[in-house]
């Protein structure tokens, strides 16, 4: 059972779409929805135990830390260079099987990335980086 509210006043709950401004296929967005949004967006689905100390402290800390590294709900607030940097980071942590973290997957097995999911996201990061570079080049040549 998931509680769709924010514990302890943690900012979030945004209705903003994930990765606003990116060109992202629905299949890739689905991967982000099942594996990334609980920590890396403002669409966190809080489990019931996020209301019970000390679990609540650990979960809130982990979500705050994850959002500070990358918040998919605020993608459009980043400039193109920052987006390209995060796209590289996304591909790297997936290639190295660092994300989603194993302790998260143990509690949320549906978040595990299949080989196909991983490849789909990595290929998208490369395509989106190329798109952003081309857009920046076109804009700079005007």
Question: How much of the chain, in percent, has pLDDT values that exceed 90?
Answer: 70
Could you give the CA distance from residue 93 to residue 20 in angstroms, rounded to a whole number?
Answer: 21
pLDDT value at 2 more than 70:
no
Could you give the CA distance from residue 70 to residue 99 in angstroms, rounded to a whole number?
Answer: 12
pLDDT value at 11 more than 80:
no
Among 6-10, 51-55, 124-128, name the one with the lowest average pLDDT.
6-10
Q: For residue 71, what pLDDT is reported? A: 96
Q: How many CA atoms lie within 13 A of 88 on its CB side?
A: 9
pLDDT value at 4 more than 60:
no
Q: For residue 124, what pLDDT is reported? A: 98
pLDDT value at 3 more than 90:
no
Q: For residue 8, what pLDDT is reported? A: 39
Residue 117, token pair as written in the block: 């999911």
Q: For residue 37, what pLDDT is reported? A: 94
pLDDT value at 123 more than 90:
yes
Could you give the CA distance from residue 78 to residue 128 in angstroms, rounded to a whole number?
Answer: 14
């Amino acid at each position: 059972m998931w509680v769709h509210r924010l514990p302890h006043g943690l900012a979030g709950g945004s209705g903003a779409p994930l990765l606003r401004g990116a060109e992202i296929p629905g299949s890739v967005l689905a991967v982000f929805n099942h594996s990334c949004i609980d920590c890396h967006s403002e669409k966190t689905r809080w489990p019931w135990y996020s209301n019970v100390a000390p679990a609540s402290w650990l979960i809130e800390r982990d979500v705050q830390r994850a959002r500070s590294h990358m918040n998919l709900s605020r993608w459009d607030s980043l400039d193109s260079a920052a987006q390209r940097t995060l796209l590289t980071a996304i591909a790297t942590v997936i290639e190295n099987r660092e994300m989603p973290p194993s302790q998260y997957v143990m509690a949320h097995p549906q978040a595990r990335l299949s080989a196909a999911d991983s490849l789909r996201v990595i290929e998208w990061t490369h395509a989106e980086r190329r798109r952003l570079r081309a857009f920046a080049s076109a804009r700079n040549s005007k």
